[in-house]
Amino acid sequence: MQTLAVIGCTGSIGRSALDVARNLRERFRVEALACGHFSPLLCEQIKEFAPRTVAVDDPVGAEELKKAFPDLEVRAGSEGVASLGDSADVVILSVVGLAGLDAALKAVRAGKRLAIATKEVLVSGGELVFKEAGKTGAEIIPVDSEHSAIFQCLMGNGKESVARLLITASGGPFRGKDKASLENVTPSEALAHPVWKMGPKISVDSATMMNKGLEVIEASRLFSVPADRIDVVIHPQSIVHSLVEFRDGAQLAQLSVPDMRLAIQFALTYPKRLPSPIARLDLSEVGKLEFGKPDRENFPCLELAYVALRKGGIFPAVLNGANETAVARFLNGECGFMDIPRFVEKKLSKTENIVDPNLEDILEADRFGRE
């Protein structure tokens, strides 16, 4: 039996991961949980899965947790959360933002399997994470449905045979709208994703298409493919999760119903495929699958991500930090929807690149992006 740590256990990915663990109890035991705050949901998870260690980023919440579970090992603060990176055989990382970088580095340095759903970690610090993983042989397996699809399509195929990666995007809630109408978008409208149920930050990123831009950078990190060989394809049904085009012209795609548990389970059980309770795809019921090109003029965040990837160095970290701050301001009613790409573009224009950044360079670039 393997042990499992879920960092970000109360978020949407974390809850899905624990649902997968619930159905694979004979193979996985939940060793550790981590989240941002003390909550009734966290208490329910502790009672059900009986982890040995729980970390809460909020120190006050950690004290409340100690009172509620006096026999539980409780760790507090960002250091406490990061310390769980090497606490289990498999580490699922699903916290939002760059906050998961320390945990990711700790996991790969310990040679653990890192099932990663936190795209910002790979966007900003991916080169460092993979460099450390190369030293220990740690496995890094993507949990995002798009990258999991590419990972599965590449199984049994050498990287030299790849011509292009095609990442699908639903188009978000504002597909087909122009800039004029997007200026007046409200946070509640941006959070209404037509297909996926996600957290607030990721939902807004999907609405601006920054989410897809971050995924382009992430795919480049994961699969060692340059920007000019990664394309985005709009696919509203979210049935085809991504494709790989090979040198001979053949394309392989991974299809399933839109359910994150499939990618999570595959990351846990790879290279094996085990039965799951996930609904089966019936293409005769789907009827048709639509595809189109992304609107880069009205959704400039996608192009900004390509710019950051091509420049390399600290640019992706600045992009990510600036975007996180802009999204938070939008959700708080402090700026408009289209101010998000304006803010990010302004920060990128003021960035002086460091081509081969170390950890401190990346963290400083992230701070600069947030200013």
Q: Domains plus CATH for the chain?
A: 2-142 (3.40.50.720), 147-257+283-366 (1.10.1740.10)
Q: Please tell me the predicted confidence (pLDDT) of residue 202.
A: 87
Q: What are 147's two structure tokens?
A: 């990258």
- How do residues 259-291 score in pLDDT, each as one tens digit? 999 999 999 999 999 999 999 999 999 999 999
Q: Please tell me the predicted confidence (pLDDT) of residue 248.
A: 96
- The Cα–Cα gap between 212 and 95 comes to 18
CA-to-CA dists, residue 84 to 56, 298, 345, 362, angstroms: 11, 41, 35, 22
Residue 102's closest CA among 369, 371, 362?
A: 362
Beta-carbon contacts of residue 270 (< 8 Å; ≥ 6 apart): 139, 141
Low-confidence stretches of the chain (pLDDT beneath 70): 196-197
- The Cα–Cα gap between 255 and 241 comes to 6
Q: Please tell me the predicted confidence (pLDDT) of residue 196.
A: 66
The dihedral formed by the CA atoms of 334, 217, 362 and 98, expressed in degrees to the nearest 10:
60
Residue 5's closest CA among 104, 76, 71, 97?
A: 104
Residue 114's closest CA among 102, 123, 97?
A: 102
Q: Please tell me the predicted confidence (pLDDT) of residue 270.
A: 96
HEC assignment per residue over the chain: CEEEEEECCCCHHHHHHHHHHHHCCCCEEEEEEEECCCCHHHHHHHHHHCCCEEEECCHHHHHHHHHHCCCCEEEEHHHHHHHHHHCCCEEEECCCCHHHHHHHHHHHHCCCEEEECCHHHHHHHHHHHHHHHHHHCCCEEECCHHHHHHHHHHCCCCHHHEEEEEEEECCCCCCCCCHHHHCCCCHHHHCCCCCCCCCHHHHHHHHHCHHHHHHHHHHHHHHCCCHHHEEEEECCCCCEEEEEEECCCCEEEEECCCCHHHHHHHHHHCCCCCCCCCCCCCHHHHCCCCCECCCCCCCCHHHHHHHHHHHCCCHHHHHHHHHHHHHHHHHCCCCCCCHHHHHHHHHHHCCCCCCCCCHHHHHHHHHHHHC
Q: What are 216's two structure tokens?
A: 């382009």
- How do residues 32-51 score in pLDDT, each as one tens digit? 999 999 999 999 999 999 99
Total number of residues shown for the chain: 371
- The Cα–Cα gap between 48 and 304 comes to 44
Residue 88's closest CA among 54, 43, 122?
A: 54
Residue 163's closest CA among 252, 249, 246?
A: 246
- The Cα–Cα gap between 121 and 140 comes to 12
Beta-carbon contacts of residue 104 (< 8 Å; ≥ 6 apart): 85, 93, 114, 116, 118, 121, 125, 129
